Chains A and B, each alone.
Chain A
């Protein structure tokens, strides 16, 4: 499954570790929420990046005490029709101020890329190779947006206001 980060297909630095497997000696790891909570101290002592795979039916507010220690949060789209992680992403970025990697996993297809970017995702474990290759094209299709989100784009309402100001001055 290709991983797209910053618009390019890259290798995944993280090793996903099952709950009953030993942690590798070094390197970035991706663990479950249960393991993150149970082995917090051990994980902190490693001094290597730690990521968590967070289920889409659990309140992300539960992650708030850990956000400073996490360099990756992987949210899940079991099917792309299940959009719960869209709200989780926005809350992590815009309400709780999470700045690490926010990765979309599961059935991640080209047709969600723009939505995901707007919701604060910056890494995509893409289901299809062809979609991963089309990332740039798919995410540049839209140039105008109606909603303000934390992605920095001005919404149509904000843009119009700015243009009026420019005309007036």
Chain B
């Protein structure tokens, strides 16, 4: 956990005061809606279908139990008793009144959380691998760098009015859980041959209307230079990014139109003007941030303790084999809490659940919780001997569905039920699919399979990079869905391919079942993942299976 110092706390408090004044001026009519909109967006406030929506940042997905309790408090006091965890390590509240927002922000500020730049045409919440700092094999904890970036991009005077939103993601592991290739800037922490820590910098990835996989702009940027280097990228983008057309304003379009070489040359020239300047980090500055990441005082334990061998409950074993991952510390484990119960809206948690999870984090995970872009939570430091007791508690809370990474672990945007941009429903389709695939044995047989659903082209459900992607569109006042297969968001990121004409709302679950059945028949061995079968065979056999009877 990163502990705020008085500088961080002062800034967050000052932001609350500023926003309180902005809301006051809006309510008095001093600010027009046109003037207020970019300001409220920069503070996570959307005007949605039914009410204002409030989006709170969870930088790099790390939460303390106190912070999670405060989120529960906001859900209970100002909203309808629940929150929705999103694909960007944020939590959204859907039913909040504008007049209450400054108070909600002030409450959150007490525990060092904010809503700065969770929307708007500015640098957004910096996301990271949700297992950062605990996953085996990392170069080092990428959250130290994510925090340096968070600070640098918060209320940045030059980059608060960019052509469009701008998203950073960072990982330090070979297996990419942060989807860095579908971000405006993706950073992979690496060590060069001299043993120096730095980053492979990728740029121009993104989903939405024009999806792109990011390209490497520079294979190695030393840690000390990372702020000046990303500053150079942002400066080039701010000046040359398109502002004439909102759909062409993202950096991915600039990179695409210029070509990565030309764009890189422009960045290099800009960087030379500021490299070695005040943005250069020195060891003391980095150490200061690193020192404020407090790590648990782990016990000296061994893997696979006797308590685990004694626990023979098959339900527990199913959950353990699905939801428990290895930890860098012997005797510990990372536990994923599924927010995808059968029939539930993906990513939702009630205030009571949040409070209870915070208590369990205190008891079993050194008071720390993580939020992943898959819309699940994790307890990152659980002693293996505590797993049976923890499982019983999580099961009672309804967050122990053993479906992590399986077909019913669906990523879905809020869709037409909440979002004013959406053309089609997402949540009911996700709910129906979790019912169809609720049999754990069948799901296990199918193996790792990511289904991603978006209710419109803006792709908040990341459908392009779902192994199976479902995109809702509107055609003649009907909701129809385009199906793509073969996408993935990890280190081998690629965009899914369309299998054929869109299908009506009511047929989507059948079509997904058909695709899964086709895969089971087509895979060359049980270990071949769905996405690998698609890569080997292409979309044709799946297309034939789906459209033969339609």
With A81-B38, A84-B238 as known contacts, state yes or no: A148 contacts B278, CB within 8 Å: yes
* Residue A37 interfacial (CB < 8 Å): no
Q: Which residues on the B side are within 8 Å of A112 (C-beta)? A: 161
| Complex contact A82–B243 (CB within 8 A) | yes
* A interface with B by C-beta (< 8 Å): 59, 80-84, 86-88, 90-91, 94-95, 109, 111-112, 114-116, 118-119, 130, 141-149, 155-161, 164
Tell me whether A144 and B39 are in contact in the complex, defined as CB-CB below 8 angstroms, given that A87-B235, A87-B239, A111-B22 are known contacts. no
Separation in Å of the A160 CB from the closest CB of chain B? Answer: 5
Interface residues of B (CB under 8 A from A): 5, 7-8, 10-11, 14, 17-18, 22, 30, 35, 38-39, 121, 148, 151-152, 154-162, 235, 238-239, 243, 273-274, 278-279, 281-282, 284-285, 288-289
Contacting pair A157 B161 (CB below 8 A): no
Given A146-B151, A147-B156, 19 further pairs, Cβ under 8 A: A82-B161, A83-B160, A86-B159, A114-B157, A115-B160, A143-B10, A143-B14, A144-B7, A146-B11, A146-B152, A147-B152, A148-B279, A155-B278, A156-B7, A157-B288, A159-B7, A161-B282, A161-B288, A164-B284
Closest-CB distance, A87 to chain B (whole angstroms): 5
**B288 neighbours in A (Cβ, 8 Å):** 157, 160-161, 164
Chain A residues whose CB sits within 8 angstroms of the CB of B273 once the complex forms: 91, 95
**CB neighbours of A142 from chain B (8 A):** 11, 14, 18, 155
Residue in B39, B158, B238 with the greatest tally of chain A CB atoms within 10 Å: B158
- Chain A residues with Cβ below 8 Å from B278 are 148, 155, 158
Given the complex, which residues of A lie within 8 Å of B5, measured CB to CB?
160
A83:B281 contact, CB within 8 angstroms: no
Q: Is B285 in contact with A161, judged by CB distance below 8 angstroms?
A: yes
| Chain A residues whose C-beta falls within 8 Å of the C-beta of B148 in the assembled complex | 157
In the bound complex, residues from chain B placing their C-beta under 8 Å from that of A147 are 152, 156-157
A109: chain B residues within 8 A (beta carbon): 35
Question: Once the chains bind, are A119 and B157 in contact (CB under 8 Å)?
Answer: yes
Are B239's CB and A84's CB within 8 A?
yes
Contact A86 B285 (CB under 8 A): no
Complex alpha-carbon distance, A84 and B243, angstroms: 10
B162: A residues at CB distance < 8 A: 83
A86 and chain B: residue at smallest CB distance: B158
CB pair B157 A157 closer than 8 Å: no
Q: In the bound complex, how far is the Cα of B39 from the Cα of A81, in angstroms?
A: 10
17 contacts between A and B (CB under 8 A): A80-B161, A83-B158, A86-B238, A87-B235, A87-B238, A111-B35, A116-B157, A145-B11, A146-B155, A147-B156, A148-B278, A149-B157, A156-B11, A157-B281, A157-B288, A157-B289, A164-B284
Q: Which of A83, A88, A148 contacts B161 (CB 8 A)?
A: A83
User: B42: nearest residue on chain A (CB-CB)?
Assistant: A111
- CB closest residue in chain B, given A161: B284
State in angstroms the CA–CA spacing of A130 and B29 once bound together. Answer: 13
In angstroms, Cα B11 to Cα A105, docked, is: 28
- A156 and B8 CA atoms in complex are apart in Å by 8
CB distance from B179 to the nearest CB of A (A): 26
Check if A86 sits within 8 Å of B161, measured CB to CB: yes
Answer whether A156 and B151 are a contact pair too, CB < 8 Å, given A86-B161, A90-B158, A144-B7.
yes
> In the bound complex, how far is the Cα of B235 from the Cα of A87, in angstroms?
6
Would you give the shortest CB distance from A26 to chain B, in whole angstroms?
Answer: 36
Inside 8 A of A95's CB, which chain B residues have their CB? 273-274
Question: In whole angstroms, how far apart are the Cα atoms of A94 and B157 in the complex?
Answer: 14
Complex Cα spacing A8 to B124, Å: 34
What are the residues of chain B within 8 A of A84 when measuring CB–CB?
238-239, 243
| B284 CB contacts on chain A under 8 angstroms | 161, 164
Nearest chain A residue, comparing its CB with the CB of B18: A141
Alpha-carbon separation in the docked complex, A40 to B338 (Å): 69
CA distance A52 to B5 in the complex (A): 44
